Structure 1
């Protein structure tokens, strides 16, 4: 059963919340009383030695817990500049909005619904008290996408200065976000990611990168380049570095050829969504600096179940602050073989002592109904630093205590 965690105005010191408890005692054969149902502790975070779980599969709550993890809001220095509000049910808009996480916002994505701003989100906005972004005229909340008027009215009623970025379709919104960023940054990023607006699982890995770096996400269809995307590329004067994310089954060679007239194209792809995310995590263009290029130990990842892709949007800010993390897809109970092989290739190995490092870590976004405890244990084990000799801790000289 999914454990609901209702996030109020809290500080990170409140690491866990006690749920309502009931006790139903019954006698054993020996006549003793035993608790069948005892007080339970519902935790927003569950950590192992190498993993930290955002312990909810509700996207609204996951976005709030991610926000609490990164912006403690205990002082002006660790409060966000502004907050992005968007609807996770329109994944194309929500993914593209991540381009505003780093700049200008230095702030999280939080979620709204068609009915307005959920109380969970309202409480988090009030906790964060965004400072306002000076270069953006003090804006504290950016509404992204075609949101209901109720959302705008609620945001105004909270007393925050708001701005809006809208578009008639995902390609138009992505173009508008690109222009918004460029206007505030005073420069037009030469590199762009091209993703499919029709294939969420192949496009989603872009979200962690655009939350981390200035390159925007622009959209195409499988066999068509929308006019809005053409217009965004034309602002690069034929010198764009265009990174196409996904195989030809998702974005055709015809589209790639059409894109070549706007700059240099490079395709990053895998045969399935798992391999595609791995390819993106491994990729590095040394000429432009684009890409994670993670091929050695000592890194962090965000693991999201491929059955719960919206949670990747909630976890996108984990690539902006702290241990920056690319996205890897996994399954509920075990890593697919390709993911397992990739993670094993990054397992840290020490010569004499584990204190040598480096260390790996992973964020897991979702409760046990998304990624099971067994799945978490497997990921934790594969991230653990081990001896180059192959000896376990218990058999190493000097490790007997």
Structure 2
């Protein structure tokens, strides 16, 4: 592995690695790719706000994802109890404009007071949403998202319901929530938390998209939701987190417009890939669902690409009679301890142009 670190750039002709030895360094590199410019971001699409979520708990980051979409254009910043020097410098570089939003930074759940004071000392306004209880916070963020509607109509009429107990099966929905602004509610496997029940009763016409198998959100919970809602209730499931990520990428609902609909061969699709056991990289990858190639997330392992993902990529990448575009692309996140170089090369083999 040391030889690989010395010899290779970490990129291939159709894959780009967003480097970092830990989540914060990967996140900063992703932010600098998405919002380039120094000493401050200079692009017209620079952030309008920032979503600040605690780095230690996936629930708050997942539910915060709906706030990313325009007009907020507010990337999720995962933070520890105190901003590091690198994080402070990056937040300064991003310098969110704060135009037509209630604050330049949205603090989700139990973000520490130390971080809040640091942000204020940088001259940024703050707004707290939620508390230390994840299910209540998922409702608070969802209510805020509905009250301050995203530019996409999808975020006004539809919600995601993900597990608040395990993360792998719901991870693929996070990037789409950033892409279209759908609120993200959380549930327990065997019961709907009281706060979430109340939200659904108060918004009976919403369409609910359950992302995950019955191992993460039970059939009984689904039945309870169907009994409460006038809108549609649709589950996107699979036999594993990998298959769920494939099915989510493939899915499109013509009645609501919800879904990536990446289901036509030869379109030159781009994807992000992270290990199924790393929710932080999953959240970070969502930035590339919000901007740029608008890439869905496909889950893999450090040392292998699951067969269901390989089959999907091969389906989307048929043999072509010419070398003309479009071409496929993949982003991988983290260092070689997150996704090995060999796995990245194997990913390249799945998506490179296949010619007669």
Asked if Structure 1 and Structure 2 have the same fold, meaning a TM-score greater than 0.5 normalized by the shorter chain, the answer is yes
**Greater helix content:** 2
Tell me, yes or no, if the aligned pair for 2:53 and 2:78 is still in contact at 8 Å: yes
User: If the length of structure 1 is used for normalisation, what is the TM-score?
Assistant: 0.81
Tell me the equivalent position of 2:320. Answer: 350
Aligned equivalents of 2:201 and 2:286: distance in 1? Answer: 28
1:224 is matched with which residue: 173, 176, 191?
A: 191
Secondary structure of 1:285's counterpart equals coil
Highest relative contact order (Cα 8 Å, sep 6+), 1 or 2? 2
| 2:239 paired with 1:239 | no
2:30 is matched with which residue: 66, 69, 74?
A: 66
1:294-323 deviation digits (Å, cap 9, x = unpaired): 112321111001232321112211101100
The residue correspondences of 1:282-321 to structure 2 (distance < 5 A) are: 282-296=250-264, 297=266, 298-321=268-291
Tell me, yes or no, if the aligned pair for 1:348 and 1:383 is still in contact at 8 Å: no
Aligned equivalents of 2:122 and 2:272: distance in 1? Answer: 32
Tell me, yes or no, if the aligned pair for 2:164 and 2:187 is still in contact at 8 Å: yes
How many angstroms does 1:245 deviate by? 0.9
Tell me the equivalent position of 1:131. Answer: 97
Given the superposition, is the C-alpha separation of residues 354 and 290 from structure 1 closer, same or farther in structure 2, using an over 3 Å criterion?
A: same
Give the unaligned 5+ runs of structure 2: none
How many angstroms does 1:343 deviate by? 1.0
* Cα root mean square deviation, aligned: 2.1
Given the superposition, is the C-alpha separation of residues 168 and 89 from structure 1 closer, same or farther in structure 2, using an over 3 Å criterion?
A: closer
| 2:149 paired with 1:149 | no
How many angstroms does 1:72 deviate by? 1.3
Aligned equivalents of 2:339 and 2:282: distance in 1? Answer: 13
Tell me, yes or no, if the aligned pair for 1:62 and 1:315 is still in contact at 8 Å: no
Tell me the equivalent position of 2:135. Answer: 171
How many angstroms does 1:133 deviate by? 2.7
How many angstroms does 1:141 deviate by? 1.5
Secondary structure of 2:196's counterpart equals helix
Given the superposition, is the C-alpha separation of residues 369 and 358 from structure 1 closer, same or farther in structure 2, using an over 3 Å criterion?
A: same
Q: How many residues align?
A: 345
My pick for the range that moved more, 153-162 or 185-194, is 185-194
How many angstroms does 1:104 deviate by? 4.0
Aligned equivalents of 1:108 and 1:182: distance in 2? Answer: 18
Tell me the equivalent position of 1:376. Answer: 344
Given the superposition, is the C-alpha separation of residues 168 and 199 from structure 1 closer, same or farther in structure 2, using an over 3 Å criterion?
A: same
How many angstroms does 1:111 deviate by? 1.9
2:158 is matched with which residue: 176, 191, 200?
A: 191
1:39-70 deviation digits (Å, cap 9, x = unpaired): 96997xx4321111011241111111111111
Aligned equivalents of 2:88 and 2:128: distance in 1? Answer: 18
Given the superposition, is the C-alpha separation of residues 41 and 65 from structure 1 closer, same or farther in structure 2, using an over 3 Å criterion?
A: farther
| 2:82 paired with 1:112 | no
Aligned equivalents of 2:65 and 2:196: distance in 1? Answer: 17
Secondary structure of 2:234's counterpart equals strand
